[in-house]
Amino acid sequence: MGLEPFSFFLFLATLALVAATSRGTYLEIPHQIHLLRPKSGARTNDFPDLSCLSWRLAVETNNIIGWKTTPEKCEGYLGHYMLGQQYREDSEAVAYEAIVYAQSLELAGDGREIWIFDIDETSLSNLPYYAKHGFGVEPFNSTLFNEWVNKGEAPSLPESLKLYKKLLSLGIKIVFLTGRPEDQRSVTENNLKNVGFYTWENLILKGSSYSGETAVVYKSSERKRLEKKGYRIIGNIGDQWSDLLGTNAGNRTFKLPDPMYYIS
Ligand SMILES: *[C@@H]1O[C@H](CO)[C@@H](O)[C@H](O)[C@H]1NC(C)=O
Ligand SMILES: *[C@@H]1O[C@H](CO)[C@@H](O)[C@H](O)[C@H]1NC(C)=O
Ligand SMILES: [Mg+2]
């Protein structure tokens, strides 16, 4: 019985770590890592040597946080990624795992089992907007973005729509929880319906009482309220870590790709 190469690598890495720790050298490593960490709000362009693929992996894994812009040199790379096959395949992998998980559950079927869907870059895609305005937009222009949202013409993210339909067929109810403001309720409802998200248990938009609060605080509070009402959040899908971190996140969370922007 042989170890798989990757397990063997992990085994060696663990040995090396233990050895380093016992010699005391490990204690010096955090200092080096600290020097490499961006200061709050630092531009990612502070890392000119990072390849765009490494940058994307680091943002998707929430290792680079709080970034305001995509690296200038990666604009072309990100455009090709977002508009090409890889973004779709990465989304498919997430939706597929979510479906496998949902199908594995023994559901109570009491109408209290819900799945949280974020909206932007999760249910609806703003790719037409970014394709027009660029993938390295700085600063983000909320006037132009709201004009786009208010058209109500965002397409669905097809992989999420597939998950949505599967969940409904399993008897799981859908709750949309979005950072879009209350005054975009009707345009959002119409947009969702027009692209196939035809029903939901609840559509929660960010009310004025949350103005100034982070998405993590807002979304955690609203999920807590849902659980207090007797709902059980069995799944949660979003493109931002702030959709999935915090409290009452759900039994399992699913992170869709989004290297275009970061919301805390
Ligand atoms: C956003 O775009 C509009 C229209 O092009 C422009 O007038 C405005 O100055 C921009 N705002 C910012 C903050 O760049
Ligand atoms: C969800 O998590 C709760 C708390 O850990 C657990 O009691 C429950 O059985 C889980 N539900 C499912 C469907 O896995
Ligand atoms: Mg989103």
109: CA distance to ligand 2 center in Å? 14
Q: Whose CA is nearest to atom 13 of ligand 1?
A: 141
Out of 3.40.50.300, 3.40.50.1000, 2.60.40.3950, 3.90.1150.10, which CATH number does the structure's domain 36-255 have?
A: 3.40.50.1000
Bond prior to 71 in cis (omega within 30° of 0): no
- Residues pairing with 236 in the sheet: 116, 253
Assess contact for 117 and 166: CB atoms under 8 A.
Answer: no
Other C-beta atoms lying within 10 Å of the C-beta of residue 100:
9
Assess contact for 243 and 264: CB atoms under 8 A.
Answer: no
Q: How far apart are CA 198 and CA 219, in angstroms?
A: 23
Give the type of residue at 256.
L
* Ligand 1 binding pocket includes 142 (Cβ within 6 Å): no
**What pLDDT is stored for residue 88 in this prediction?**
97
**What pLDDT is stored for residue 48 in this prediction?**
64
Q: Tens of pLDDT along the chain (264 residues)? A: 344 444 444 444 443 433 333 333 333 323 222 223 333 344 455 566 789 999 999 999 999 999 988 888 898 999 999 999 999 999 999 999 999 999 999 999 999 999 999 999 999 999 999 999 888 766 678 999 999 999 999 999 999 999 999 999 999 999 999 999 999 999 999 999 999 999 999 999 999 999 999 999 999 999 999 999 999 999 999 999 999 999 999 999 999 999 999 999
* Ligand 1 binding pocket includes 141 (Cβ within 6 Å): yes
Beta strand spans in 170-251 (E): 173-181, 202-206, 232-238
3-state secondary structure of 205: strand
Domain ranges within the chain, ordered by starting residue: 36-255
Assess contact for 88 and 156: CB atoms under 8 A.
Answer: no
* Ligand 2 binding pocket includes 245 (Cβ within 6 Å): no
* Ligand 2 binding pocket includes 251 (Cβ within 6 Å): yes
State the DSSP code for 156. Answer: B
- Global confidence as pTM: 0.83
* 219: alpha, beta or left? (left if phi > 0; alpha if psi -120 to 50): alpha
Other C-beta atoms lying within 10 Å of the C-beta of residue 66:
11
| Ligand with the closest atom to the CA of 219 | 3
What one-character-per-residue DSSP string does 107-151 give?
A: ---SS-EEEEE--BTTTB--HHHHHHH-SS-SS--HHHHHHHHHH
**What pLDDT is stored for residue 47 in this prediction?**
63
* Ligand 1 binding pocket includes 143 (Cβ within 6 Å): yes
**What pLDDT is stored for residue 8 in this prediction?**
44
| Ligand with the closest atom to the CA of 138 | 1
CA distances to 136, 189, 236, 240 from 259, rounded to whole Å, are: 10, 26, 19, 9
* Ligand 1 binding pocket includes 138 (Cβ within 6 Å): no
Residues in the chain: 264
Atom nearest to 234 CA in ligand 2:
13
